[in-house]
Structure 1
């Protein structure tokens, strides 16, 4: 397996920091903050080129931001934003072998495209959020396409990614759901690519980052 480099930052957020409070309210602002951590000059699609993905893991007492990219400079976070550390993901990729049992966590934006009447043929329907069993089936299918066979699948609703600063007539949020469970690796190369590039839509707003650990 040929691997591209990637690092993961785990940042325990300071809930008293005004920039943290702003970013937790507005997914667009969070995206801007995190894009400062990757190099400049990455072309027309800097997030995609940098491989930037993130997920917010929250408990009753803490908010932890996981940020993944090919390169990250935590010195570019606002002073006092949080305490973070970096981890090289190469050992994790090297451990991905066919048949290996893993635990996973991912937050995703399950959607489907609205079907339009025949008289609107050629037009694109709206993207509609999936919930309940429909969302579970979406994730099971996308996991299989990414090289994972799921054994358990626990959904947890999480706060949507909101965009209160936007005023362009579009929906003000992205629906999100977190999945935790166990799975078996069926295709290590495809899975490594899915970890590096993310799964599904809304990758700029906290969806798509797949975390794996030995089961």
Structure 2
């Protein structure tokens, strides 16, 4: 298994970078444009293993892009920002049962109520989760991923929004940032989920799980 991680630091003087930061669909197309497959191919993201996440750092905004093959960074518009790619193979090979890790994921925790429940409480078909309900969702997801959580902190994020280019229909994926520490219980399953992503909204900046070895402070 080979995965690549690309870190892009957008230059806010770039009109393209500013537009992408405001529209999840534009950013999706930007990330897919870095690979040779046609963006119009609905299976391209899955086949290329493309997952991404935007996040704030002390140095400003950054985009983390994970993929099964290295992107062609020359396809970024001139002046878009700084970018660098590295392989994740050493990390994947080091994963083992019992290893303590730090994790971070911006996910789209949702519930799909039954028809009877929707009618009784006047709910939509998809209900975004927040607070304790979202944390319960991530706890279940992490167990299915091969992790046992030790610590968990959740932070609501701005929703990923945009309009489909084909029909201008609006899309929205509510996001919650989950981060903390965990112990690996199934390293093989974890590698698979790292590759596939977790939850819904993967094309729009949700579902990229980041893992790093956790070292206790001395």
Task: Name the TM-score, length of structure 1 as normaliser.
Answer: 0.90
Q: CA deviation at 1:40?
A: 1.7
Contact in 1 for aligned 2:96/2:184 (Cα 8 Å): yes
Count, aligned residues: 208
In structure 2, the CA distance between the partners of 1:6 and 1:133, relative to structure 1 (3 Å rule), is same
The structure with the largest strand share of the pair is 2
Q: State how far apart, in whole Å, the 2-side matches of 1:175 and 1:30 are.
A: 16
Contact in 2 for aligned 1:166/1:172 (Cα 8 Å): no
What residue number does 2:53 align with? 55
Q: 2:23 aligns with which of 10, 23, 26?
A: 26
In structure 2, the CA distance between the partners of 1:164 and 1:82, relative to structure 1 (3 Å rule), is same
- Tell me the alpha carbon deviations over residues 78-118 of structure 1, each in whole angstroms, 9 at most, x when there is no partner: 11111011110100001100000000110000001122129
Give the secondary-structure state (helix, strand or coil) at the position aligned to 1:91. helix
Q: State how far apart, in whole Å, the 2-side matches of 1:61 and 1:5 are.
A: 29
- Tell me the alpha carbon deviations over residues 46-76 of structure 1, each in whole angstroms, 9 at most, x when there is no partner: 0000000000111365001000001111111
Q: State how far apart, in whole Å, the 1-side matches of 2:42 and 2:30 are.
A: 18
Choose 197-206 or 155-164, whichever is displaced more.
Answer: 155-164
Task: Name the TM-score, length of structure 2 as normaliser.
Answer: 0.89
Q: State how far apart, in whole Å, the 2-side matches of 1:157 and 1:131 are.
A: 7
Give the secondary-structure state (helix, strand or coil) at the position aligned to 1:58. strand
Choose 53-62 or 202-211, whichever is displaced more.
Answer: 53-62
Structure 1: give runs of 5+ residues left out of the alignment: none
- Tell me the alpha carbon deviations over residues 167-207 of structure 1, each in whole angstroms, 9 at most, x when there is no partner: 96966421001111000000000000010110001000111
Contact in 2 for aligned 1:26/1:165 (Cα 8 Å): no
Q: CA deviation at 1:41?
A: 5.6
What residue number does 1:115 align with? 114
Give the secondary-structure state (helix, strand or coil) at the position aligned to 1:39. coil
Structure 2: give runs of 5+ residues left out of the alignment: none
Contact in 1 for aligned 2:200/2:206 (Cα 8 Å): yes
Q: 2:6 aligns with which of 9, 12, 16?
A: 9
Contact in 1 for aligned 2:164/2:170 (Cα 8 Å): no
Q: CA deviation at 1:38?
A: 1.7
